[in-house]
Structure 1
Amino acid sequence: MVKFLIILLVIWLVSRYILPVVLRLVVGALVKKQAQKFGQQFGQNPFTQPPRPSASRSGSAPGEVHVDYVPPQEKAEAKGFKGGEYIDFEEVK
């Protein structure tokens, strides 16, 4: 009976504390391998960061924001429309 309880305790400890760590490592390695295969299929590596364009500029300071594209301004006639007329809502019982 004591031998059975010790085996049961060991199985519980392994499944509670060791198995999740091992599974996390195995699944993490599998996901990383599959992501690299996927990236190679499309010509990119998902675990490398793309080069930063602001780092190549010598005049920009760290943390400085640079905007490459400014959208065109809307026409003034589109801003003149304020909406339709107000219709009062009356609840029907």
Structure 2
Amino acid sequence: MTRATGRWPKADPDSGVEDATLLILEWLGEQGVGAMIRVDAERIRDGRPAWTFAAGGGPLLEGMRADGRSVTECIGGALLKLREAGLDVPF
């Protein structure tokens, strides 16, 4: 068994945004934004985009949602929408 070296892993910029997802959620919470990401098994079975990101509160004037067929697509779309809403997400 390995010992934990810290609370959060360091994001690897070459491995994709999915590695930074928890860091993004934590940062949003620190800004007063409630956020979540989920996967819907029923939508997977139906061949629809199964990943959903939702956020609201804090500096967001209204809630927002982004969907995707993969966690990368979902979070990538969410980051674009968050930046359009004026949040400069540092990841």
Task: Say yes or no: TM over 0.5.
Answer: no
Range of TM-score over shorter length = under 0.3
Bigger relative CO (Cα 8 Å, ≥ 6 apart): 2
Q: Computing the radius of gyration over CA atoms, which structure comes out larger, 1 or 2?
A: 1
Q: TM-score, normalised by structure 2?
A: 0.19
More helix by share: 1
More strand by share: 2
